[in-house]
Chains A and B, each alone.
Chain A
Amino acid sequence: MARNGNQSPQDELYARAAHTYGAMIERLARGYEADPELRRDLVQEIHAALWRSFAIFERQCSEKSWVYRIAHNVGVSHMMTGRRRRKDTLVGLEQVEEPAADSNVEAELAQKAELEWLLKTIHRLNPADRQVMLLYLEDLTAAEIGEVTGISAGAVAVRIHRIKALLADSRGAKDDDHE
């Protein structure tokens, strides 16, 4: 990122956060928007909200939670606006057992196939479950997910349990396909 000599504290905080969480923001945007063109706009919108937010950031919570909250809020707003346009049907983790009917499990690149499966699954989830899944994939603990989202520890635990089951099922399905 281009920097000039006289950055304000807001600019500095933002620049540091953009450097630390830039990759996460990019991934988060992929979780909320499948279209590459619209995703670019979403990434920019998140960065803009983040920059503005540092004008009012007074360590009300950890910087990490702050960044995740801002980014996910913009993501959810974007997703809800897009859903009104596209009329997508979103479901919860308990209904998404067979999420990616056309996922190419025989692809040579297992990671690519896994990523594809993950994205297709995430794009079908309702906002709350999508947030939990994205935060879980970013290695946040259940307590951190609770802090970012405000969802109770019990509800987070239930969702993580479902995510694990979902991942295990997908692995089982892939293994079966390979046999």
Chain B
Amino acid sequence: MSDEKSARESWQSQGAEAQPPSMDEVRKAAGKFYRRIWWRNAVEYAAAVFVVVSFSYNIAVGMGHVLERIGSAVAIIGVLFVVWQLHHRGSPSRPETAGSMPLMDFVREQLVRQRDTLTSAAWWYLAPLVPGMLLILVGATLRKMADGTGTIMIGFAGFGFCAILFFGAWLIHRWGARRLQRHIDDIDALVRGNAS
């Protein structure tokens, strides 16, 4: 018997005993993907609601320096913009749509979408939060300097800390996008047929 035939026979000798799950089990499992997406969205929206409510409270009770209140309002707009972008950019491709195109095309499409989301994260995920954050920091620094509980150096330290956080987040997104691009390049080479 040839090596291939023997290997195929060995391979195909398994699985015959398998019983497909019942229709009820299938229906139940079919909702799992959507429940996962629902929960992910729910966590994002809950975080946004928390930010909006707490910043609105700061504004309503006239807490802090005027710049802090303006910053809170700008931050609320920024958070709402980010939430709208998350919603607009949608959920991952549904697994049941995979049959409509060859596997590699399907996987590539998902990777491209993820890469584009990461590449553009600087303007839709990070940038909208910067103006509000800056105003709040400036307002807080001015307030603390006025009441003698802080100095300009502490304010700079706050700016530096935030700048590092945002720069780090940008670097992580960029690194993720590059990693995805490598996968996309591999698929392109494979589909074109010039992959070794």
Contact = CB atoms under 8 A, between A and B. Distances in A.
Given A26-B14, A53-B96, A115-B10, A47 B107 contact: no
B27 to A, nearest CB: 7
B30 A48 contact: yes
A60 interface: yes
A62 to B, nearest CB: 10
Interface in A55-75: 55-57, 60-61, 65-67, 69-70, 72-74
Given A56-B96, A114-B10, A128-B104, A47 B20 contact: yes
Interface residues of A, number: 70
A19 B20 contact: yes
A9 to B, nearest CB: 14
Q: Is the interface of B mostly helix, strand, loop or mixed?
A: helix
A4 B23 contact: yes
Contact of B32 (A24, A45, A164): A45
B29 A47 contact: yes
B25 A27 contact: no
Nearest to A75: B103
Contacts of A136: 8
Contacts of A153: 193
Interface string A28-61: 0010000000000001110111111101110011
A115 B11 contact: yes
Contacts of A72: 103
A66 B99 contact: yes
Nearest to B93: A73
A22 B107 contact: no
A51 B190 CA distance: 30
Contact of B3 (A2, A65, A170): A170
A23 interface: yes
Interface string A73-113: 11011000000000000000010000000000000000100
Given A23-B15, A51-B30, A69 B20 contact: no
A168 B14 contact: no
A143 interface: no
Given A26-B15, A131-B103, A167-B3, A49 B98 contact: yes
27 contacts: A1-B21, A1-B23, A4-B23, A23-B12, A30-B15, A43-B21, A47-B21, A48-B29, A56-B97, A56-B99, A56-B100, A61-B99, A70-B95, A70-B99, A74-B95, A115-B13, A128-B186, A138-B11, A138-B12, A148-B103, A150-B104, A151-B190, A151-B191, A155-B194, A163-B4, A170-B3, A171-B3
Given A52-B94, A114-B10, 8 more contacts: A1-B21, A4-B23, A23-B12, A53-B96, A115-B11, A118-B10, A153-B193, A155-B191
